Structure 1
Amino acid sequence: MGDLLEAGRGDPIPRTETGMGKGSISTLEKIGFGMGDAGNNMTFAAVVMYLSYFYTDVYGISPAVVGTIFLSMRVVDAVTDPLMGAIADRTRSRWGRFRPWILFIPVPLAIACVLMFTTPDWSDQGKIIYAFVTYGAMSLLYTAVNIPYCALGGVITDDHRERVSCQSWRFVLVGVAYLILNSGLLPLVEWIGDGDEARGFQIAMGLMCVIALFMFGFCFATVRERVTPPAQNSRNPWRDLRTLAANPKWRIILSITFLQALQFFLRQGAAVYYADWVLGLGATGISIFVTLGVVGKMAGTALSPLITGRVSKRQVFMASTALLILASIGLFVVPGSLLVVATTVFVLVNFFHGIGTPISWALMADAEDYGEWRHRHRLTGVSFAGNLFFLKLGLAFGGGLIGFLLSWGGYDADLEQQGSSALLAITLMLTLIPAAICVAMNVAIWAFGLGDADMDRIRRDLQARSEDREYAPSQDEEGASNGPAPRPS
């Protein structure tokens, strides 16, 4: 049947623009793909690293309320994320299914982010309501751009090794966004605000959002969609989710996404508090400390495709996570008075995390390939919507844990020196708690099971189906095949 593949209820599925085997893409397009997430993180990294601090120390609401705000939005995400994935899968335009969202949504997202870092002179209750509304608006718009962007990573190439390279470029450029944000935000807040942190945060975040818009524009202009997902117009998103749930690899990837996000966001959110209260650094010192961590993560991310070109990416992920656990334990035992040692170990923690980050995102697409190979359906938007929901769930639990653990430790932003319980809570959030989460994450990646040899066989099978074969459509309600496909060797 040439480049058509019969699936589901008999819908023809074009595999790629130029054939299943065309997996290589240019360096410019990889950079463009990475610029999309760099734009995302000019807003998202601000939420991860500075919003808790802004809410408690600038905006003036309690840590417990902050935790409640972060967690409550995830209830909404449970509905909006799969809906957004289904909408993206069904989008038809001259730019493709996912690229239009990268063109049209970033402007309102930037506006919402600036409003989120705006401090109205209202009553305490009014400020809490304003925080809920603006954080909710930012989260919904972030969903509308980031789910299509993440799905884009599964359709620009069908080569699982090229996907690691794409994701590596992505997270290197995310690191660039973090560098811009970390090296520029607090100094800009201090300079522009001239003693007024609220005004400084508002204007500085406005400048960061302008940079983000240029990044999104570059992504849209340079990236193309090649692997075309199945048309699913006759299906509803809840049925899509049930089809995906039949894929055990996707279920495992959801747990890995949640655990990796939880340990990362918890650690990143605690880093500012740790640099401020445990290490005793000022605004410039905090920026340098966090920026060095970002540089370490970028170095690990850049190294990742070089290692995975020689060793199975699943084995690399497990080894780097084990080293991350050891480095986190080491950071716990280093006293804050040893500034250089603590900073060095913090950089190592981020370095080992950086090695595994692009691999985990490449594994998401691998799980989707496995699902198509086994169940005859490719649900790119909904699949990545599930992953993004669990990522945001990790962010919410991370932000919530920060707020609740700070309250448990007796943290008070008005004190000149925190008590020992508050300092312990901050240190645990940066070290031992993320280390324990990483142990569970390594168990999950071990259970995932698919190595590079398995993915090579799956890719060959999908290519053969596309070029030479027809197979009977599914007869069951969910669109899965009547019998399981053989497991990869």
Structure 2
Amino acid sequence: MITEELFNKDTTRLERLSIKEKMGFGFGDAACNMIWGPITMFLTYFYTDIYRLDPALIASLLLFVRVFDAVADPFMGAVADRTRSRWGRFRPYLLWGAVPFVISCMMMFYTPEASERFKIFYAFAAYFILSGIYTIVNIPYCSLGGVITSNPEERVSCQQYRFAMAGVAILFCSLTLLPLVEFLGSGNRQMGFFWAMTLFALMGLAMFLTCFYTTRERVKALQENEEGIFRSFISILKNDQWVICAAGMFLDCVPSFIRGGAIIFFAKYVMQLNTTWITLFMSVGVAATILGSMLTKYFTTRWCKVRVYIGIKLVLVFMSLGFYLIDPLNLTLMLVFYVVLNIIHQITTPILWSFIGDVDDYGEWKLGKRMSGICASGNLFALKLSLAFCGAFIAITLSLTDYIPDNPAQPAQALSGILFLVSLVPAIGYLASALLFRFYRLDRHTMREIQLALLAREKSVKRDER
């Protein structure tokens, strides 16, 4: 019989991860965000104001590529689940995919001197290739978070380090990208973007390798999943808590992607800031998310992380509407508000990602199958669908409200559309997330019971093997 004391000995003390390994794990997401962070924040701006594509065309591009990429995610998860190597199932892809990821990033931000038709084709092809390689690297990385430890508290801690370090990477990018574009391009913003993103990609390469060499996979499936890929897709749908988690991932990303993609337009055209102040405003917001990530464990060690998640989302509903109440020309007040909003927003992010390992444990307990790759990739599928929806939604909103690229004097309806994107849409996303997770059952007590049952099952299997 597995007692509470034995459980603590086996899953808490023995799987307490070192700071070095947690930081190594965090370097993986930092690497991803050296490339994906600027894409989230600046891609729509790059395509409208630098590459000079029509916003409606951008909406089509983002929607098509991101939906296709999202559909590919579960297949990559299934492939990773079936990978066998001396480095584990998921870590090898950090090694194999890092260099192609760098090259695809360079292609993505290169602006060819060619006809309009060829530029449209090139933009589609480059974004398609980058998204595909990102899938090959990022799905295994996200799966690694569920097998690096089986301790639910350490999973939150790993995600805390992950998002803090990802925040540092995004902060670095937001602080330096636009100045580097000016410096490296010598007035040519097209070349400036290319060389700046090349530099970021090479830094990401070093971080991927650091993650590979400093982490290891500890959680092993008690029984190998011999199902075919399509049958595994059907099996994961029987995990009702995974379905909630994946749907929650879609909703949770709406405030991040909508506001994150529109904030540069808000700072430039509504707040009327110059390039220097835009960089500072966005960077302070990113710095606030780092602090928010580091505060997560303070809340989750005192209260059940599910209750913390729901409560903070409800607070954010009302805070998000603050953009309508604050004078955008009052820089000091807006800056303070934006910092506080981002701190509170980010507290829930490590919690959400820790749920992925929990629902994987729940699936093994309920169905007798561990499907870490498909479990993580299904959530990435939801994330990328959200990214596709949000990118297209931003571009369509700009088009419908008569946004004029790179024009300091925007029409009143364009300014209202931008304010709608940074305030009301995120508020709706926060509320929907809070309501959905009222049906999520894997609270602290339930997870402890599941861990006890899995530990008992593991010991039974080991006894039978002897």
Measure the CA separation in 1 of the matches of 2:197 and 2:463. 53
Q: CA deviation at 1:446?
A: 1.2
Answering whether residue 263 of structure 2 is matched by residue 310 of structure 1, we say no
Partner of 1:81: 73
Measure the CA separation in 1 of the matches of 2:397 and 2:37. 21
Q: C-alpha deviations, 1:179-220, integer Å up to 9, x for none?
A: 110111110001111211001000000111111111111101
Amino acid at match of 2:436: A
Q: CA deviation at 1:356?
A: 0.1
Amino acid at match of 1:274: F
2:186 counterpart (181, 194, 205) = 194
Q: CA deviation at 1:125?
A: 1.4
Q: CA deviation at 1:75?
A: 3.5
1:444 counterpart (420, 425, 436) = 436
Amino acid at match of 1:389: F
Measure the CA separation in 1 of the matches of 2:133 and 2:438. 35
Measure the CA separation in 1 of the matches of 2:315 and 2:450. 31
Answering whether residue 43 of structure 2 is matched by residue 51 of structure 1, we say yes
SS in 1 for 2:147: coil
Partner of 1:333: 325
Measure the CA separation in 2 of the matches of 1:296 and 1:269. 17
| 5+ long unaligned stretches in structure 2 | 3-8
Q: CA deviation at 1:471?
A: 12
1:285 counterpart (277, 284, 298) = 277
Answering whether residue 108 of structure 2 is matched by residue 95 of structure 1, we say no
Check the 8 A contact 2:225/2:370 in 1, yes or no.
no
Check the 8 A contact 1:84/1:143 in 2, yes or no.
yes
Measure the CA separation in 1 of the matches of 2:174 and 2:221. 37
Check the 8 A contact 2:250/2:385 in 1, yes or no.
yes
Measure the CA separation in 2 of the matches of 1:85 and 1:406. 35
Q: C-alpha deviations, 1:13-60, integer Å up to 9, x for none?
A: xxxxx9666331111100000100000011111110011100000000
Measure the CA separation in 2 of the matches of 1:290 and 1:369. 38
1:137 counterpart (123, 129, 132) = 129
Q: CA deviation at 1:414?
A: 4.2
Amino acid at match of 1:131: A
Say which is worse superposed, 235-244 or 170-179, in terms of deviation: 235-244
Partner of 1:104: 96
Partner of 1:32: 24
SS in 2 for 1:153: helix
Say which is worse superposed, 77-86 or 265-274, in terms of deviation: 77-86
Against the structure 1 CA distance between its residues 197 and 78, is the aligned structure 2 distance closer, same or farther, given a 3 Å change threshold?
closer
Q: C-alpha deviations, 1:84-142, integer Å up to 9, x for none?
A: 11110111111111000001101111111111111111111111110100000000000
Q: So what's the TM-score if we normalise by structure 1?
A: 0.91
2:167 counterpart (166, 175, 194) = 175
Matches within 5 A, 1:15-414: 22-229=14-221, 232=224, 234-414=226-406
Partner of 1:10: none
Measure the CA separation in 2 of the matches of 1:79 and 1:49. 23
Check the 8 A contact 1:327/1:348 in 2, yes or no.
no
Partner of 1:480: none
Say which is worse superposed, 81-90 or 198-207, in terms of deviation: 81-90
What is the total number of aligned residue pairs between the two structures? 457
Amino acid at match of 1:254: A
Measure the CA separation in 2 of the matches of 1:72 and 1:126. 18
Check the 8 A contact 1:293/1:347 in 2, yes or no.
yes
Identity score, percent: 41
Q: C-alpha deviations, 1:374-424, integer Å up to 9, x for none?
A: 111110001111111111111111111110000111101142310111111
Measure the CA separation in 1 of the matches of 2:415 and 2:222. 52
Q: Which runs of 4+ in 1 moved over 6 A?
A: 469-472
Measure the CA separation in 2 of the matches of 1:190 and 1:171. 29
Measure the CA separation in 2 of the matches of 1:370 and 1:292. 38
Instruction: Give 1 or 2: higher helix fraction.
Output: 2
Q: CA deviation at 1:332?
A: 2.4
Q: CA deviation at 1:340?
A: 1.2
Measure the CA separation in 1 of the matches of 2:223 and 2:413. 55
Amino acid at match of 1:447: F
SS in 2 for 1:154: helix
Against the structure 1 CA distance between its residues 320 and 433, is the aligned structure 2 distance closer, same or farther, given a 3 Å change threshold?
same
Partner of 2:415: 423
Check the 8 A contact 1:90/1:231 in 2, yes or no.
no
Against the structure 1 CA distance between its residues 436 and 75, is the aligned structure 2 distance closer, same or farther, given a 3 Å change threshold?
closer
Q: So what's the TM-score if we normalise by structure 2?
A: 0.95
Check the 8 A contact 1:89/1:231 in 2, yes or no.
no
The root-mean-square deviation of aligned C-alpha atoms, in Å, is 1.8
Measure the CA separation in 2 of the matches of 1:328 and 1:404. 21
Amino acid at match of 1:324: L
SS in 1 for 2:404: coil
Check the 8 A contact 2:34/2:173 in 1, yes or no.
yes
Measure the CA separation in 2 of the matches of 1:467 and 1:234. 22
Measure the CA separation in 1 of the matches of 2:406 and 2:97. 38
| 5+ long unaligned stretches in structure 1 | 3-17, 473-489
Measure the CA separation in 2 of the matches of 1:26 and 1:225. 14
Say which is worse superposed, 361-370 or 70-79, in terms of deviation: 70-79
Q: CA deviation at 1:350?
A: 1.0
Partner of 2:6: none
Check the 8 A contact 2:94/2:141 in 1, yes or no.
yes
Measure the CA separation in 1 of the matches of 2:292 and 2:226. 43
Matches within 5 A, 1:8-19: none
Q: C-alpha deviations, 1:330-375, integer Å up to 9, x for none?
A: 1222121111111211112211111000000001111111111111
Measure the CA separation in 2 of the matches of 1:323 and 1:131. 39
Q: CA deviation at 1:261?
A: 1.3
Check the 8 A contact 1:328/1:349 in 2, yes or no.
yes
Measure the CA separation in 2 of the matches of 1:61 and 1:420. 22
Amino acid at match of 2:127: Y
Measure the CA separation in 2 of the matches of 1:79 and 1:432. 29
Against the structure 1 CA distance between its residues 441 and 233, is the aligned structure 2 distance closer, same or farther, given a 3 Å change threshold?
closer
Measure the CA separation in 2 of the matches of 1:250 and 1:173. 26
